[in-house]
């Protein structure tokens, strides 16, 4: 059966489970939200949200160099124990995140990392654009709100479509890995280098 995106989103908010797990649960339960919640709990998939507050002091720094060395990325991914940090699944996740940064050029880890002044300036620009397009004043704020969400999707790593499966976000991949490995996982920071970026004509 077809499951609406709105229903999947509501189930995610209630359980903290990954998007694909939520979709499967709704399909298995005929679209019954309450039964889908029970299904996820029985499968142990509703626990990711509960793990989100746990301290993460282990992990690894993953590096990725694209092509012939024109793009390089360093990303720090943290978990709770050294045991999980050494698993193939955790290392694969860190590698995938580094590749995501290389390909999609995010500027921030999540929306909470966007400086207030940057967000306010972006809203001003988007509001001016909407007015210049002749949009009625009464709906401009709604338009700006929608375009700010797009800004987050474009610029925040966790909100970007995952390069290996654009139907889910990087945050979905993190949550699903948390569920499987049983530990909180956090992307702490990243740095992306591209050959020639920042160079000027006077640089040696």
**200 domain residue, yes or no:** no
10-residue mean pLDDT profile of the chain (204 residues): values are: 81 75 87 84 62 76 91 94 94 97 95 91 90 83 89 95 93 89 91 78 43
Same domain, 42 and 138: no
Same domain, 144 and 58: no
Q: Order of strands across the sheet with 71-79?
A: 58-66, 71-79, 186-194
Same domain, 101 and 163: yes
Give the domain range for residue 126.
115-154
Cα distance between residue 163 and residue 96, in whole Å:
8
Q: Provide the whole-model pTM.
A: 0.70
Same domain, 174 and 80: yes
**CATH code for the domain of 99:** 3.30.479.20
pLDDT for 175: 87
Burial class (CB in 10 A: 0-12, 13-18, 19+), 11: buried
pLDDT for 204: 39
């Amino acid at each position: 059966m077809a499951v609406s995106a709105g229903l999947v989103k509501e189930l995610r908010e209630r359980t903290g489970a990954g998007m694909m797990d939520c979709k499967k649960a709704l399909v298995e339960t005929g679209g019954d939200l309450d039964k889908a919640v029970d299904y996820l709990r029985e499968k142990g998939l509703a626990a990711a949200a509960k793990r989100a507050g746990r301290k993460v002091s282990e992990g690894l720094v993953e590096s990725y160099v694209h092509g012939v060395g024109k793009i390089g990325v360093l990303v720090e991914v943290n978990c709770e124990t050294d045991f999980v940090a050494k698993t193939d699944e955790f290392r694969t996740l860190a590698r995938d995140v580094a590749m995501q940064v290389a390909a999609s050029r995010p500027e921030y880890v999540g929306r909470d990392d966007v400086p207030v002044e940057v967000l306010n300036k972006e809203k001003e620009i988007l509001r001016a654009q909407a007015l210049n397009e002749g949009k009625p004043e009464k709906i401009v704020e709604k338009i700006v709100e929608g375009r700010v969400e797009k800004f987050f999707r474009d610029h925040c790593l966790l909100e970007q479509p995952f390069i290996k499966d654009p139907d889910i976000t990087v945050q979905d991949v993190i949550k699903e890995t948390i569920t499987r490995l049983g530990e909180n996982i956090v992307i702490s920071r990243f740095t992306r280098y591209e050959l020639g970026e920042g160079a000027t004509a006077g640089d040696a």
